[in-house]
């Protein structure tokens, strides 16, 4: 049972694919059964804590694509473990939550398929030790996130948001892939553990490292919604609440931060690390919280503060001191716990009352006491009130800022400013809806089913427990995580609740007071919402829209030029390019034909050739479509005979069969074709005739070249001939090539054939206007 | 097309063609033939049947919808390829049994791969022909 973490990873994917069937059998209860998988995962990962604390990472290796040096390498250290626990524990809660939130939806099974697919990919990202493997899981999270954001797929807004998230993170993913490959080639290894053990300074000094750094940062920044790519995250709030709670607060958006942390020892050695990462993080932090001020939608407020927190984490990693890294890990843990709870409670409010505007909500605590309690704890933790983990992490955040170099007092000003807004947002999202006077809501409010409040309540308990006794979380999770990030085995971090009367404590107190003041001013700020709308319009999302519409216009233009639907134009293009590309290489290599040594052709061969030529010419000149088809048939059968004469019976047989079936298809389509007319002008005909003649000449020359070079170098066909029986137990070399030597090509070909057939089927049988007839 | 001659002949020929297609498939590794040409012959058997007695009858003769046959073929080919992985070799490595069987000769995963190709080609061809044919009939 050594490989339990890997078994868990695999079973999450298995659970994903079983989910639709399970939903058919169990209905809404399938979520509870499915949640056993992440629950088991949480258990397994928790059991690993002592071992990781002792500095013994879990390692698993399995060959995957040995020819490319890609293997399934997993390595779980402190950083991985922190994420694994967050993903599995919050995964359990979200699975429960979705069972209540989406109860009765008929595609709940599909939802769980996506959700568990995402969960598995995320577990994969954080435990991968191979750069390519990490990238594969990374892309899987993008795709599953696309499907989850677009879950309400019949709403245009949902689809647009899903597409936007996919395009932004997908573009970043491509940058990451390029960066990862460059880095792997530069270092000579794709194993992350080996990379981090190398001499970072030497690697960083290599030419081209700046490119690697920027590409990898682009991948991380798009994923973690850093400015100027932050806009997709608030838009992704069109997703159902469980998705927002899971992907857009606790896990996926932190993948970018994870990547920065994972490669921290290497990338932070670059002199560009601090000047890029810290400012980007700071700008994101400020953008997020400023935009959060103007929102009147609980989910949007939480989304923008999430952007702010992601900025904070990036900024801390950018600062990169021991204290900052430790603060980042503590902040990450605290944020995941309170934000997941708040996303779920605000989803519950929306679900039970139909309202998401905090101004229209109040006094719900009597109607939904458990949800109110969970939201209260989450809100207080977010505000950084003592005895909760949010307070502890904010203390470390301030300590790290006080300790940071490079921008003087600006760090503290920015940090406190952002935290003040967090306090106001926390009150708005966690406290305001439940306290004060009961406001009437469209739906009569009552407590949600236990599936929807148990998770947030347990998260609240976790927040209190870790807040009161932070040293457990410090030594067990945050410390090993920070040690893994810093690449320093001996570093032990501890979290303390009480540090004495420090500057950080003073800043915390000031933050809460200013936050309360800001909260009082919020209605007035929101009244000026127009300004925020204007800000958003000026922002980078505008650039995204322009880029996208420009790209689409370009695609339309080039499609209308290249894919204009006329078969003759396609053939013209293909032939022309072949003539040009092959033709310009020919001069000089074409041997003059040696007439004397050439074998005199058999009279039968000549006859067949003449027959083919006659058929081709006749097909061009005839004015009846039917005769043209028959004439082409003559050409095809003639070619088959040539194959046969030159001892290629396999080719001949296939050619005859294909000719026959083509004829059948022609006959079937015959009556649907327009009247056979004379459409082309004379000049076009002359052009085509010239091109055809040139093409024929070029092909003849290619044959000559091929013939003359064949004697010298026929290594490939000799290999095939000699090894067909020895290696593949077959005497028919053609077939051995198809099913053994080049079987991958064949597999690709039959797949393409199948796709083409489905395309024909879809166009003919599924097109609109057929009145939804039964299709088989 | 209601020709008695065609209908009578096709009843005989369809069976013969199918037997021939299997023959081609099995001998393919050592003699001319193989999954691709075998699949095409099998498809032409059903195309012939459809011409003689109509598309619904041809579909009944095929029993399973063409799409399913096509998918089945792809899966068989994929599984035959994955057998290599299970045995610890790269994907699509041929595995052979050394005993000689009558007609087929040695058995190996490439033969199963070829069976996959056979069904994929059969499914693809009949799917296209049936779609096109039934579509033109409906329009008439």
Does A302 map to a domain? yes
Residues 9-48 of B with CB under 8 A from A: 28-37, 40-41, 43-44, 47
Q: Cα–Cα distance between A383 and A388 in angstroms, integer? A: 10
- pLDDT of res. A772: 46
Q: Cα–Cα distance between B45 and A613 in angstroms, integer? A: 31
Enter the tokens of residue A273.
């690390």
Contacts of A681 by beta carbon, 8 Å cutoff, 6+ apart: none
Q: Cα–Cα distance between A441 and A238 in angstroms, integer? A: 21
Q: Cα–Cα distance between A320 and A485 in angstroms, integer? A: 10
Which residue of B23, B26, B31, B34 is the best one to mutate when testing the A interface, meaning the one whose CB has the most A CBs within 10 A?
Answer: B34
Same domain, A378 and A302: yes
Q: How many other CB atoms sit within 10 Å of the CB of residue A188?
A: 10
Q: Is A226 within 8 Å of A256 (Cβ atoms)?
A: yes
Q: Cα–Cα distance between B84 and B108 in angstroms, integer? A: 11
Same domain, A284 and A377: yes
Q: Cα–Cα distance between A173 and A522 in angstroms, integer? A: 38
Domain extent, residue A338, equals: 276-527
ipTM: 0.91
Chain A residues touching B59 at Cβ < 8 A: 776
Residues 71-110 of A with CB under 8 A from B: none
Q: Which residue has the tokens 């233009």?
A: A557
Strand partners, B78: none
Does the distance separating the beta carbons of B81 and A747 come in below 8 Å?
yes
Residues 461-480 of A with CB under 8 A from B: none
| Domain total in chain A | 3
Count of CB pairs separated by less than 8 Å, A with B: 149
Strand partners, A70: A65
Does the distance separating the beta carbons of B41 and A750 come in below 8 Å?
no
Does the distance separating the beta carbons of B113 and A754 come in below 8 Å?
no
The shortest C-alpha distance from A673 to chain B (Å) reads 11
Q: Cα–Cα distance between A393 and A331 in angstroms, integer? A: 5
Decide if A751 touches B, using CB distance below 8 A. yes
Q: Which residue has the tokens 């007092």?
A: A409
- pLDDT of res. A676: 72
Does the distance separating the beta carbons of B40 and A654 come in below 8 Å?
yes
Residues 91-120 of B with CB under 8 A from A: 91-92, 94, 96, 105-106, 108, 110-111, 113-114, 116-117, 120
Same domain, A723 and A687: no
Phi (first) and psi of residue B101, to 5 degrees: -105, 150
Report helix, strand or coil for A363: coil
Chain B residues touching A736 at Cβ < 8 A: 29, 110
Domain closes at, from A502, A527, A552: A527
Chain B residues touching A67 at Cβ < 8 A: 90
Strands (E), A25-143: 58-65, 70-76
pLDDT over 90 at A365, yes or no: no
The shortest C-alpha distance from A715 to chain B (Å) reads 22
Nearest CA in chain B to A739: B110
Decide if A730 touches B, using CB distance below 8 A. yes
Q: Cα–Cα distance between A87 and A535 in angstroms, integer? A: 34
Decide if B69 touches A, using CB distance below 8 A. no
Does the distance separating the beta carbons of B32 and A756 come in below 8 Å?
no
- CA distances from residue A294 to A304, A522, A660 in whole angstroms, order as listed: 10, 8, 70
Decide if A202 touches B, using CB distance below 8 A. no
Q: Cα–Cα distance between A320 and A331 in angstroms, integer? A: 14
Q: Which of A446, A470, A481, A459 has its CA nearest to residue A389?
A: A470
Same domain, A575 and A697: yes
Three-state SS letters, A144-170 = HHHHHHCCCCCCHHHHHHHHHHHHHHH
Q: Cα–Cα distance between A237 and A249 in angstroms, integer? A: 11
- pLDDT of res. A697: 92
Q: Cα–Cα distance between A121 and A116 in angstroms, integer? A: 8
- pLDDT of res. A552: 87
Does A146 map to a domain? no
Does the distance separating the beta carbons of B139 and A661 come in below 8 Å?
no
Q: Which residue has the tokens 């045995």?
A: B87
Q: Cα–Cα distance between A216 and A268 in angstroms, integer? A: 12
Chain A residues touching B108 at Cβ < 8 A: 729
Average pLDDT over residues A237-264: 89
The shortest C-alpha distance from B38 to chain A (Å) reads 9
Q: How many other CB atoms sit within 10 Å of the CB of residue A485?
A: 28
Does the distance separating the beta carbons of A732 and B33 come in below 8 Å?
yes
Same domain, A634 and A516: no
Same domain, A519 and A592: no
Does A154 map to a domain? no
A331 CB-side CA count, 13 A = 29
Q: Helix, strand, coil % (nearest 5) of chain A? A: 75, 0, 25
pLDDT digits (tens, 9 = 90+) for A628-687: 888 988 999 999 999 988 888 888 998 999 988 888 888 887 777 777 777 778 888 889
User: What are the boundaries of each domain within chain B?
Assistant: 4-139
- Report chain B's mean pLDDT, rounded to a whole number: 86
Cα A259 off chain centre by: 14
Burial of A751: CB neighbours in 10 Å, binned 0-12, 13-18, 19+: middle
Does the distance separating the beta carbons of A743 and B131 come in below 8 Å?
no
Strand partners, A655: none
A6 CB-side CA count, 13 A = 14
Average pLDDT over residues A28-56: 89
Q: Cα–Cα distance between B140 and B52 in angstroms, integer? A: 18
The shortest C-alpha distance from A381 to chain B (Å) reads 51
Query: Residue A776 — pLDDT band, cuts 50, 70, 90?
Result: very low
Does A90 map to a domain? no
- Report chain A's mean pLDDT, rounded to a whole number: 86
- pLDDT of res. A493: 63
Same domain, A471 and A386: yes
Pairing of strands B105-108, A58-65: unpaired
Lowest mean per-residue pLDDT among A95-99, A501-505, B24-28, B41-45: A501-505
Chain A residues touching B35 at Cβ < 8 A: 738-739
Domain closes at, from A713, A741, A758: A713
Which residue of B30, B38, B88 is the best one to mutate when testing the A interface, meaning the one whose CB has the most A CBs within 10 A?
Answer: B30
Decide if A574 touches B, using CB distance below 8 A. no
DSSP codes of every residue in B68-80: HHHHHHHHHHHHH
Burial of A544: CB neighbours in 10 Å, binned 0-12, 13-18, 19+: middle
Q: Is B43 within 8 Å of B129 (Cβ atoms)?
A: yes
Q: Is A44 within 8 Å of A87 (Cβ atoms)?
A: no
Does the distance separating the beta carbons of B120 and A753 come in below 8 Å?
yes
Q: Which of A111, A95, A124, A92 has its CA nearest to residue A10?
A: A124
Does the distance separating the beta carbons of B96 and A732 come in below 8 Å?
no
Does the distance separating the beta carbons of B140 and A671 come in below 8 Å?
yes
Does A266 map to a domain? no
A664, A740, A751: residue with CB nearest B129: A664
Same domain, A738 and A752: yes
Sign of the alpha-carbon torsion through A556, A160, A173, A204: positive
pLDDT digits (tens, 9 = 90+) for A381-399: 998 888 888 888 888 898 8
pLDDT over 50 at A476, yes or no: yes
A658, A764, A765: residue with CB nearest B40: A658
Q: Which residue has the tokens 């880095």?
A: A183
Contacts of A769 by beta carbon, 8 Å cutoff, 6+ apart: none
Q: Which of A237, A444, A456 has its CA nearest to residue A355?
A: A444
Average pLDDT over residues B45-67: 90
Domain closes at, from A659, A682, A713: A713
With b meaning 16 or more CB within 10 Å and e meaning fewer, what string describes A128-144?
bbbbbbbbbbbbbbbbb
- pLDDT of res. B10: 87
Q: What angle do CA A761, A762, A765 make, to 5 degrees?
A: 70
Does the distance separating the beta carbons of B132 and A654 come in below 8 Å?
no
Average pLDDT over residues A71-84: 91
- CA distances from residue A89 to A122, A200, A310 in whole angstroms, order as listed: 13, 35, 20
- pLDDT of res. A202: 86
Does the distance separating the beta carbons of B37 and A753 come in below 8 Å?
no
Does the distance separating the beta carbons of A664 and B47 come in below 8 Å?
yes
Query: Residue A475 — pLDDT band, cuts 50, 70, 90?
Result: confident
- CA distances from residue A386 to A99, A345, A377, A382, A506 in whole angstroms, order as listed: 34, 22, 11, 11, 12
Does A595 map to a domain? yes
Cα A17 off chain centre by: 19
Does A309 map to a domain? yes
Which range, A137-151, A550-564, A729-743, has the best average confidence (pLDDT)? A137-151
Q: Cα–Cα distance between A744 and A322 in angstroms, integer? A: 51
Report helix, strand or coil for A675: coil
Q: Cα–Cα distance between A456 and A458 in angstroms, integer? A: 5
Contacts of A214 by beta carbon, 8 Å cutoff, 6+ apart: A179, A276
Does the distance separating the beta carbons of B135 and A764 come in below 8 Å?
yes
Q: Which residue has the tokens 């920070």?
A: A482
Chain B residues touching A735 at Cβ < 8 A: 28-29, 33-34, 114
Report helix, strand or coil for A90: helix
Does A609 map to a domain? yes
Decide if A733 touches B, using CB distance below 8 A. no
Does the distance separating the beta carbons of B106 and A661 come in below 8 Å?
no
- Say whether the peptide bond before residue A679 is cis (omega within 30 degrees of 0): no
Which residue of A664, A674, A728, A750 is the best one to mutate when testing the B interface, meaning the one whose CB has the most B CBs within 10 A?
Answer: A750
In this structure, the dihedral spanned by the alpha carbons of residues A174, A179, A181 and A183, taken in order and rounded to 10 degrees, is -170
pLDDT digits (tens, 9 = 90+) for A690-728: 999 999 999 988 888 877 766 556 677 777 777 777 777
DSSP codes of every residue in A561-576: HH--S-HHHHHHHHHH
Decide if B62 touches A, using CB distance below 8 A. no
Query: Residue B2 — pLDDT band, cuts 50, 70, 90?
Result: low
Average pLDDT over residues B36-57: 90
Q: Is A362 within 8 Å of A436 (Cβ atoms)?
A: yes
Does the distance separating the beta carbons of B77 and A754 come in below 8 Å?
no
Alpha-helix residue ranges (DSSP H) falling in A198-321: 200-204, 209-223, 232-235, 241-245, 254-262, 264-267, 273-293, 298-319
Chain B residues touching A765 at Cβ < 8 A: 131, 134-135
Q: Is B102 within 8 Å of B16 (Cβ atoms)?
A: no
Q: Helix, strand, coil % (nearest 5) of chain B? A: 75, 5, 20
Q: Which of A342, A341, A327, A459 has its CA nearest to residue A394?
A: A327
Sign of the alpha-carbon torsion through A693, A699, A705, A711: negative
- pLDDT of res. A774: 46
Same domain, A705 and A757: no
Average pLDDT over residues A407-432: 88
pLDDT digits (tens, 9 = 90+) for A216-229: 999 999 999 898 88
Kindly state the helix (H) or strand (E) to which residue A436 belongs, with its residue range: none
């Amino acid at each position: 049972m050594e490989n339990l973490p890997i078994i868990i990873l695999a079973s999450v994917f298995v659970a994903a694919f079983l989910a639709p069937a399970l939903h058919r059998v169990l209905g809404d209860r399938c979520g509870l059964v499915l949640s056993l998988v992440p629950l088991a995962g949480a258990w397994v990962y928790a059991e690993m804590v002592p071992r990781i604390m002792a500095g013994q990472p879990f390692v698993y290796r399995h060959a995957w694509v040995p020819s490319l040096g890609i293997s399934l390498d997993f390595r779980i250290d402190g950083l991985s473990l922190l994420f694994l626990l967050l993903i599995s524990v919050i995964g359990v809660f979200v699975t429960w939550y979705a069972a209540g939130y989406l109860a009765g939806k008929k595609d709940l099974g599909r939802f769980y398929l996506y959700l568990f697919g995402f969960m598995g990919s995320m577990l994969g990202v954080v435990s991968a030790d191979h750069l390519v493997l990490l990238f594969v899981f990374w892309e899987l999270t993008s795709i599953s996130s696309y499907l989850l954001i677009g879950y309400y797929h019949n709403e245009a807004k949902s689809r647009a948001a899903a597409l936007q998230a996919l395009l932004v993170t997908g573009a970043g993913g491509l940058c990451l892939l390029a960066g990862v490959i460059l880095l792997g080639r530069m270092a000579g290894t794709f194993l992350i553990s080996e990379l981090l053990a190398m001499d970072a300074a030497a690697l960083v000094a290599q030419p081209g490292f700046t490119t690697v750094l920027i590409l990898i940062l682009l991948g991380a920044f798009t994923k973690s919604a850093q400015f100027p790519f932050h806009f997709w995250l608030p838009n992704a709030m069109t997703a159902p609440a469980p998705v927002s709670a899971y992907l857009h607060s606790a896990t996926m958006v932190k993948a970018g931060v994870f990547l920065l942390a994972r490669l921290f020892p290497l990338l932070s050695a670059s002199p560009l690390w601090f000047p890029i990462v810290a400012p980007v993080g700071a700008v994101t932090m400020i953008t997020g919280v400023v935009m959060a001020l103007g929102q009147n939608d609980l989910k949007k407020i939480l989304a923008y503060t999430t952007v702010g927190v992601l900025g904070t984490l990036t900024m801390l990693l950018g600062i990169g001191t021991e204290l900052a890294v430790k603060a980042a890990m503590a902040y990450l843990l605290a944020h995941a716990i309170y934000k997941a709870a708040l996303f779920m409670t605000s989803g519950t409010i929306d679900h039970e009352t139909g309202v998401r505007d905090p101004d229209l909500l109040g006094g719900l605590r009597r109607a939904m006491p458990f949800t109110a309690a969970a939201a209260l704890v989450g809100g207080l933790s977010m505000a950084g009130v003592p005895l909760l983990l949010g307070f502890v992490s904010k203390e470390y955040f301030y300590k790290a800022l006080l300790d940071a170099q490079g921008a003087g007092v600006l760090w503290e000003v920015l940090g406190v400013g952002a935290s003040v807004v967090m306090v106001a947002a926390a009150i708005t999202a966690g406290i305001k809806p439940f306290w004060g006077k009961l406001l009437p809501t469209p739906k009569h409010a009552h407590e949600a089913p236990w599936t929807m409040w148990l998770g947030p309540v347990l998260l609240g308990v976790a927040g209190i427990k870790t807040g009161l006794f932070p040293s457990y979380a410090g030594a067990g999770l945050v410390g090993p995580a920070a040690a893994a990030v810093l690449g320093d085995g001996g570093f032990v971090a501890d979290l303390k609740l009480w540090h004495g009367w420090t500057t950080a404590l003073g800043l915390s107190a000031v933050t809460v007071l200013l936050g309360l003041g800001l909260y009082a001013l919020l209605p007035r700020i929101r009244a000026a919402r127009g300004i925020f709308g204007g800000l958003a319009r000026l922002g980078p999302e505008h650039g995204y829209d322009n880029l996208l519409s420009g790209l689409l216009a370009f695609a339309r233009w080039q499609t209308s030029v290249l894919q204009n639907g006329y078969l003759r134009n396609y053939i013209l293009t293909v032939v022309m390019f072949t003539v040009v590309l092959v033709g310009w290489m020919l001069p000089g290599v074409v041997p003059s034909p040696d007439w004397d040594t050439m074998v005199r052709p058999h009279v039968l061969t000549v006859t067949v050739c003449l027959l083919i030529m006659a058929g081709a010419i006749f097909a061009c000149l005839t004015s009846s479509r039917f005769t043209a088809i028959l004439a082409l048939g003559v050409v095809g059968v003639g070619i088959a005979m040539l194959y046969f004469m030159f001892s290629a019976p396999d080719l001949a047989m296939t050619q005859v069969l294909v000719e026959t079936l083509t004829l059948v298809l022609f006959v079937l389509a015959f009556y649907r074709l327009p009247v056979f007319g004379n459409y082309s002008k004379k000049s076009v005909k002359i052009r085509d005739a010239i091109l055809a003649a040139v093409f024929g000449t070029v092909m003849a020359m290619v044959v000559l070249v091929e013939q003359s070079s064949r004697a010298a170098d026929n290594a490939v066909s000799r290999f095939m001939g000699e090894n067909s029986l020895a290696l593949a137990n077959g005497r028919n070399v053609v077939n051995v090539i198809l099913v053994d030597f080049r079987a991958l090509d064949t597999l690709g070909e039959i797949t393409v054939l199948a796709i083409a057939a489905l395309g024909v089927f879809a166009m003919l049988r599924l097109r609109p206007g057929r009145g939804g007839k039964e299709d088989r | 097309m209601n020709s008695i001659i065609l209908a009578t002949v096709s009843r005989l020929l369809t069976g013969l063609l199918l037997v021939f297609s299997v023959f081609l498939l099995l001998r393919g590794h050592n003699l001319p033939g193989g999954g691709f040409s075998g699949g095409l012959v099998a498809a032409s058997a059903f195309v012939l049947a459809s011409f003689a007695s109509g598309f619904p009858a041809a579909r009944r003769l095929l029993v399973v919808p063409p799409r399913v046959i096509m998918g089945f073929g792809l899966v068989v080919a994929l599984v035959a390829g994955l057998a290599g992985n299970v045995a610890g070799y790269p994907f699509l490595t041929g595995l052979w049994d050394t005993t000689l069987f009558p007609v087929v000769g040695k058995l190996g995963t490439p033969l199963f791969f070829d069976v996959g190709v056979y069904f994929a080609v059969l499914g693809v061809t009949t799917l296209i022909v049936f779609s096109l044919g039934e579509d033109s009939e409906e329009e008439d």
